[in-house]
Amino acid sequence: MPSLFEPGGIVQHEFFVGSTPVIAFETGGLKDTVFEFDPQTEKGNGFTFKDHKVGDYMYAVERAMNVFKNKKKYQVLRKNAFESTIDGADVSRAWNKEFHRLFNKTFIDPVMMKTHLERIDKKFDESLYKEQFTLKKILPEISPELQKLRSIHHRNHYLKARENLKNCVFVYKTNKLPRPKSIMLIGSFDDWKKPIPMNYDHILGRWTVTIQLHPGEYT
């Protein structure tokens, strides 16, 4: 991929999915995702050249061919390339956030919202079961209408409890190669119960996630 200009780039990730190392000019999204393979450290997922000229390009091809001849090193390189693939869901989420920012809107992660609603429904089901068990002799079966009203009540109570929550952005950045395929955030804010996946911004080269927390200190 000797592109002279590449703002983001998706083709290199199509290569990575097939465990295919990439030879790329160091520009834009290619510079952020394709890193020179070092046979000594076995780090990197391809080969790059800094000057957009035939000589530099051919030298990168020669380095690639030398690694290709060493089957053991080449298999390591292929593995590194595959592990460099960015999940399409992460890219879509990043663009969604950017569009919200451009229109001065707050992005609400649908995955996070779904998780919260599932927690609400789970708590509601647990409390409903206890009520049914307690009132078993008086009320054998709770009507769907009553269930719906109680569900709304539980959700309203939940949302009210979240009124003083603040958006907190967590950022993680590393120059270590190959780049981690995923980064998870876990902490005392939910008693260490569930890791939260962070999203990779290939433009800024960092992992971020925004979660809502009550004011305070967390580990």
Q: DSSP for 118-161, please give it.
A: HHHHHHHHHHHHHHHHHTTTT-SS--HHHHHHHHHHHHHHHHHH
Respond yes or no on whether the N-terminal peptide bond of residue 7 is cis (omega within 30° of 0): no
How far lies 58's CA from each of 10, 22, 30, 50, 61, in Å? 23, 14, 18, 12, 5
What is the rounded CA–CA span in Å between residue 168 and residue 90?
Answer: 19
Domain that includes residue 191, residue range: 165-219
**Per the domain annotation, does 216 fall within a domain?**
yes
**Per the domain annotation, does 97 fall within a domain?**
no
* 156 and 169 within one domain: no
Evaluate whether 127 touches 154 at the Cβ level (below 8 Å).
Answer: yes
Q: What is the pLDDT of residue 135?
A: 47
Collapse the DSSP code of 47 into the 3-class scheme (helix H, G, I; strand E, B; otherwise coil) and give the result: strand
**Per the domain annotation, does 101 fall within a domain?**
no
Q: What is the pLDDT of residue 101?
A: 80
| Number of domains into which the chain is organized | 3
What is the rounded CA–CA span in Å between residue 211 and residue 33?
Answer: 26
Q: What is the pLDDT of residue 70?
A: 96
* 169 and 155 within one domain: no
Q: What is the pLDDT of residue 184?
A: 93
φ, ψ (nearest 5 deg) of residue 91:
-65, -45
Q: Structure pTM? A: 0.45
φ, ψ (nearest 5 deg) of residue 21:
-65, 155
pLDDT profile of the chain (219 residues), mean per 10? 80 90 90 92 95 94 96 96 83 80 78 76 62 49 57 59 76 84 90 90 84 85
Q: What is the pLDDT of residue 189?
A: 87
* 188 and 155 within one domain: no
Q: What is the pLDDT of residue 137?
A: 47
